[in-house]
Amino acid sequence: MVKPLDGLVVLEFSQFMAGPTAGLRLADLGARVIKIERPVKGEAGRQIAIRNIFVDGSSLVFHTINRNKESYAADLKDPEDLERVKKLIAQADVMTHNFRPGVMEKIGLDYQAVQAINPSIIYGVVTGYGSEGPWATRPGQDLLIQSLSGLTYLTDTHDAGPVPFGLAVADIMCGAHFVQGILAALIKRNKTKKSVLVEVSLLESVLDLQFEVITTHLNDGRKLPQRSKNKGAGHAYLSAPYGIYRTADAYLVLAMGNLHKIGQALDVDLSDYASRESWFEQRDEIMDKLALKLETKTTAEWLAILEPLDIWCSEILTYAQSLHHDAFEAMGVKQNVILPDGQELSTTRCPIRIDHNRLFSPVAAPRPGQQTEIINQQFNLTGA
Amino acid sequence: MKPLEDYLVVDFSQFLSGPSAGLRLADLGARVIKIERPETGDICRHLYTSNVIMNGESSVFHAINRNKESFTADLKNEADRQQVWELVKKADVVMHNYRPGVMERLGFDYESIKAVNPEVVYGEISGYGDVGPWKDKPGQDLLLQSLTGLTWLSGNDGGPVPMGLSIIDMLAGTHLAQGILACLVRRSVKGEGALVQVSMLESAYDLQFEAVTTYYYDGLLPQRTEKNNAHAYLGAPYGIYKTADGYMALAMGSIPQLAQLLKCNALLPYTEVAQAFHQRDEIKAILADHLQSDTTESWLSVLQPADIWCAEVFNWDTLMQQDGFKALNMVQEVQMQDGYQYQTTRCPIRIDGELLTSAKGSPALGQDTDKILQEIKN
């Protein structure tokens, strides 16, 4: 199929996670994404591993984020390499970087300089905290951003202290917003034929992730979130029964719904909680009552009672169960990429479907500089 | 000029996932018209969080639906349907988040709209996709977190702990906006329309793509640390620690260097890089104990000059007092048509150095119906 971004060339100077996840999405949507990397060592993210797992010389995380891309090796401090990179920029549609403020100015590839090379480029910048203010030079790292943003007071119980989201959500959201900004900029460019600057930051993105609850905070007399005392409670701002409960053999999840209908279905007397307000104000008490009852039957028994009544509930699955489930298989979320030695690596595919097509690509992450020669030829970078 | 100026989005969606995508398109410059049921409207108008009511409706609705217009129509009434047809004929983007099959029954599915508007970009969000055994299940955030393994990543080792926001809803909305924008890019070159589909299920796995890829590789489930867990797959010191007067976050950093900087001799034996992962529970316990002996500020004043990645832990009150926060101008004030004003956050993207703000608050139900009907007639 012809993918929506077919024909676009993206140069990725970005490293680590936020910028490169944006590059991955653009690649899956059809763009040709070329990483500009230091010779031999490549981008710093190649050395950042989770569970210490390395594949083909780079961390498994790097492979996850950088599949479906090419790599062009260039030392930006070497004048000849820089000259080639500038020739490449002249032919690109988009370039992205996440250097700290000042670095690209020193190299001579800041937005102003690049506009002179390519007056219709989309120039994308990722920072930790924006380019102004006292935090601009602090390290833009996911856990630090979560900790500064207030996000850690939303998960788990009220006596748990600050609890981070257990994934790099600031990086992930920021990368996702970066994609939106770059695509919107391409739409603008196609109208004006002029270059566009796109800027995102990890902190703004993780604040945007909290937009519903921060808006509530700004308008409720600035109360802070009140987490439930119940382990498994799902959301500091939602009423009972929202959360995870133990059953006789495992767990049961109850989302929002009419509490009286749920009480009846479970045979728990909740008549003391007549008003909807009380479902929030007395949620800990209500959850205790539900918890006591739910321990008496197995998850399957409860689901058999609740699901036919259209009560929003489910079991809890682990990867071992979920990733082999028929529902997962039916959606074809898994895909394999092929490493240089012929081995295959399994990962997930792009979550967006276009014109009934799932977007797959068997292309694995490149080795540092793997496509340097061919890119030199195709873009005529070494000729006089 | 905002990038999507002159684009018209007709949005049938409600709750959070679809409308959050509509909000992003609106902030990027599009005109977004919500199609709502008469009398009740988007159910989110009355889906209260912590019982907060603003100008008669939920705070969440006001957060998600600012910068939009509201058009009421009963999609089962023929006269109303005709009006909606006039609107979708003119639309650049149409979107919804009904369960699979509902739009086909209502007659506003992609094929029907494409027949009269071939260049339309049509977006839809489902819970679990349009095939497979879960396709008719309710697409609700906590259920998706529970079914996709997400509850085994946050909090300390032990039972399942959800992430405390409707993160899957928001991600699905984010991915829908990406898909729509990508197809608008193509349309701006080739004049082709498109169908864009996302599901909360696919978005939930995409969020976990690192962890799922790791599971495929080694077959091991995520293992959270006993205490101070921040990421099931990372070694010590990665976590948040209690200090004498509060909390601090400590990301990556070599254990021997930390031992030296923090004057913590108990950490000296952990000299091998691999120990930071394999013996992380021990290391974290030592750190947790040691860091309680002094204040956050005092620890940061040692670690930050040495380029160790660490930070204070703020709640919204303390965050909003910081100059670093104020420099972002993240809060904006918006006004509804009846004059009611409220504060909310702005779009996190900057284009050509400008903040994408808009003073337009959320619409009262049906407030723009007459105006839009006039436009249709003209």
- Residue A70: both structure tokens together: 């090419």
Give residues with Cβ within 8 angstroms of A7, minimum separation 6.
Answer: A30
Whether the per-residue pLDDT at B337 is higher than 80: the answer is: yes
Specify the DSSP class assigned to residue B130: S
Share of chain B above pLDDT 70, in %: 100
Instruction: Please tell me whether residues B253 and B119 are part of one structural domain.
Output: no
The string of pLDDT tens digits covering residues B259-309 is: 999 999 999 999 999 999 999 999 999 999 999 999 999 999 999 999 999
Q: Does A244 contact B152 at a Cβ distance shorter than 8 Å? A: no
Instruction: Please tell me whether residues B40 and B184 are part of one structural domain.
Output: yes
Q: Model's pTM, two decimal places?
A: 0.98
Whether the per-residue pLDDT at B348 is higher than 90: the answer is: yes
Q: Does A143 contact B230 at a Cβ distance shorter than 8 Å? A: yes
Mean pLDDT rounded to a whole number for chain A: 97
| Count: domains in chain B | 2
State whether residue B251 sits within 8 Å of chain A by CB: yes
Instruction: Please tell me whether residues B125 and B71 are part of one structural domain.
Output: yes
Among residues A251, A239, A226, A169, which one has the least CA distance to residue B154? A169
Q: Does B153 contact A212 at a Cβ distance shorter than 8 Å? A: no
Which of chain A's residues have a Cβ under 8 Å away from the Cβ of B182?
4-5, 29-30, 183, 352, 354
pLDDT, mean of residues A366-379: 98
Give the number of other CB atoms < 10 A from CB of residue B159: 15
The string of pLDDT tens digits covering residues A60-88 is: 999 999 999 999 999 999 999 999 999 99
What is A120-170 written as a DSSP string? T-EEEEEESS-SSSTTTTS---HHHHHHHHTGGGSSS-TTS-----SS-HH
**Is A171 annotated in the active site?**
yes
Predicted pLDDT at B54? 97
Predicted pLDDT at B234? 95
State whether residue A242 sits within 8 Å of chain B by CB: yes
Predicted pLDDT at A187? 98
The string of pLDDT tens digits covering residues A276-326 is: 999 999 999 999 999 999 999 999 999 999 999 999 999 999 999 999 999
Upper half-sphere CA count for residue B218 (Cβ side, 13 Å): 15
Q: What is the CATH number of the domain that holds B367?
A: 3.40.50.10540
Predicted pLDDT at A52? 87
B34 to chain A, minimum CA–CA distance in Å?
Answer: 19
pLDDT, mean of residues A170-188: 98
Instruction: Please tell me whether residues B64 and B183 are part of one structural domain.
Output: yes
State whether residue B141 sits within 8 Å of chain A by CB: yes
Residue A289: which region, alpha, beta or left (left: phi > 0; alpha: psi -120 to 50)? Answer: alpha
Q: Which sequence spans correspond to the domains of chain A?
A: 9-209+330-378, 251-315
Q: Is residue B299 part of a domain?
A: yes
Structural domain including B84 reads 8-207+332-377
The string of pLDDT tens digits covering residues B116-168 is: 999 999 999 999 999 999 999 999 999 999 999 999 999 999 999 999 999 99
Predicted pLDDT at B48? 87
pLDDT, mean of residues A324-333: 96
Specify the DSSP class assigned to residue A49: -
Instruction: Please tell me whether residues B171 and B310 are part of one structural domain.
Output: no
Q: Does B174 contact A346 at a Cβ distance shorter than 8 Å? A: no
Last residue of a domain, one of B287, B319, B351: B319
- Superfamily of domain covering A9-209+330-378: Crotonobetainyl-coa:carnitine coa-transferase; domain 1 (3.40.50.10540)
State whether residue A316 sits within 8 Å of chain B by CB: yes
Predicted pLDDT at A384? 58
Residue numbers of A between 343 and 382 with CB closer than 8 Å to B: 345-348, 350-356
**How does residue B314 score in pLDDT terms, banded at 50, 70 and 90?**
very high
Whether the per-residue pLDDT at B378 is higher than 90: the answer is: no
Instruction: Please tell me whether residues B371 and B246 are part of one structural domain.
Output: no
> Strand A122-127 vs strand A196-201: parallel, antiparallel, or unpaired?
parallel
Across the A:B interface, residue pairs with CB atoms under 8 Å apart total: 470
d(CA B331, CA A359): 37
Assess contact for B356 and B2: CB atoms under 8 A: yes
Whether the per-residue pLDDT at A218 is higher than 80: the answer is: yes
Q: Is residue B126 part of a domain?
A: yes
Instruction: Please tell me whether residues B45 and B180 are part of one structural domain.
Output: yes
* Helix (H), strand (E) at residue A244: strand A243-246
Q: What is the CATH number of the domain that holds B279?
A: 3.30.1540.10
Residue numbers of A between 208 and 237 with CB closer than 8 Å to B: 208-220, 222-227, 231-232, 234-237
Whether the per-residue pLDDT at A383 is higher than 80: the answer is: no
Q: Does A333 contact B202 at a Cβ distance shorter than 8 Å? A: yes
Share of chain A above pLDDT 90, in %: 96
Predicted pLDDT at A172? 98
Predicted pLDDT at B52? 93
Which of chain B's residues have a Cβ under 8 Å away from the Cβ of A132?
327
Q: Is residue B352 part of a domain?
A: yes
Mean pLDDT rounded to a whole number for chain B: 97
The string of pLDDT tens digits covering residues B315-332 is: 999 999 999 999 999 999
State whether residue A334 sits within 8 Å of chain B by CB: yes
Which of chain B's residues have a Cβ under 8 Å away from the Cβ of A152?
240, 313
- Residue A230: both structure tokens together: 């119940």
d(CA B137, CA B121): 26
d(CA B320, CA A171): 21
Length of chain A in terms of residues written: 384
Last residue of a domain, one of B293, B319, B345: B319
* Helix (H), strand (E) at residue B207: helix B200-207
pLDDT, mean of residues B182-200: 98
Q: Is the peptide bond before B348 cis (omega within 30 degrees of 0)?
A: no
Instruction: Please tell me whether residues B172 and B29 are part of one structural domain.
Output: yes
Predicted pLDDT at A101? 86
Q: Is residue B218 part of a domain?
A: no
Predicted pLDDT at B49? 86
Of A49-53, A254-258, B249-253, the poorest mean pLDDT is in A49-53
Give the number of other CB atoms < 10 A from CB of residue B77: 12
Helix A202-209, helix A211-219: angle, nearest 10: 70
Assess contact for A254 and A286: CB atoms under 8 A: no
Residue numbers of B between 6 and 25 with CB closer than 8 Å to A: 16, 24
Residue numbers of B between 73 and 92 with CB closer than 8 Å to A: none
Q: Is residue B222 part of a domain?
A: no
Assess contact for B243 and B231: CB atoms under 8 A: no
The string of pLDDT tens digits covering residues B48-86 is: 888 899 999 999 999 999 999 999 999 999 999 999 999
A120 to chain B, minimum CA–CA distance in Å?
Answer: 13
**How does residue A1 score in pLDDT terms, banded at 50, 70 and 90?**
confident
Assess contact for A270 and A289: CB atoms under 8 A: yes
B228 to chain A, minimum CA–CA distance in Å?
Answer: 8
Instruction: Please tell me whether residues B336 and B196 are part of one structural domain.
Output: yes
Predicted pLDDT at A51? 87
Instruction: Please tell me whether residues B188 and B76 are part of one structural domain.
Output: yes
Q: Does B152 contact A318 at a Cβ distance shorter than 8 Å? A: yes
Instruction: Please tell me whether residues B47 and B173 are part of one structural domain.
Output: yes
Give residues with Cβ within 8 angstroms of A324, minimum separation 6.
Answer: none
